[in-house]
Amino acid sequence: MASNAWVALAIVLATLLGTHAADPDITSDFIVPDGVAPDADFFTFKGLKQALRGAPRDAPFKVTKASQGEFPALMGQSVSYAALQFAPGGVNAPHTHPRSAELLLVVQGWLEVGLVDSNNTLFTQVLRTGDLFVFPKGLVHFQANKDPRYPAVALSAFGSANAGTVSLPKTLFGSGIDKDVLAKSFKTDAQTIDKLVSAATMG
């Protein structure tokens, strides 16, 4: 099946990305949490299966992570994954990953993606199934499924077991930054900031 070939390619790419990662080097083959006796199951993660089956349920966008929090065998291995599911019209809001670049592979449908560099230059691209795009570490980026009828699915590989995600809407408007500071920063009024804060803190 073609989709299996894309998944296999993504695994190879994640492995290559991990060879130049920023996580601290470890002095053992792998790290085992206290009280865990490693067997083959310790090195296996089955949590992405459902995420590869199309649109998310009851949400315009869903991310399913396979990082060290969900998959402890990744600790010290400088690699992780995420499956991104987009309903028709779904958006992964502008965000950054402070500890890793992201290598995104579209496995179903198509996406419009973009990043903004430190010179405030916007780079956008339309990606089809099988296309790859790299988001450099720490830069603001987004993904959007602009197809009004069909879902899209992508796999993201990271060169860190814990790449971190900083969502700009939630960070700016959902973290409790003084509303007067936000209003002055965005050259707008308090009512507009109230609407943005309300939207960022919903659900």
What residues are designated binding site for Mn(2+)? 95, 97, 102, 141
Ramachandran bin of 11, using left for φ above 0, alpha for ψ from -120 to 50, beta for the remaining angles: alpha
DSSP 50-85: GGGSSSPSSSSEEEEEESTTT-GGGTTS--EEEEEE
Binding positions: 92, 95, 97, 102, 141
Look at residues 3, 8, 91 and name the one whose alpha carbon lies nearest to residue 53: 3
| φ, ψ for residue 156, nearest 5 deg | -115, 130
Number of Cβ within 10 Å of residue 98's Cβ equals 11
Residue in the structure block whose two tokens are 């990662």: 21
- Cα separation of 158 and 74, whole Å? 11
Binding positions for oxalate: 92, 97, 102
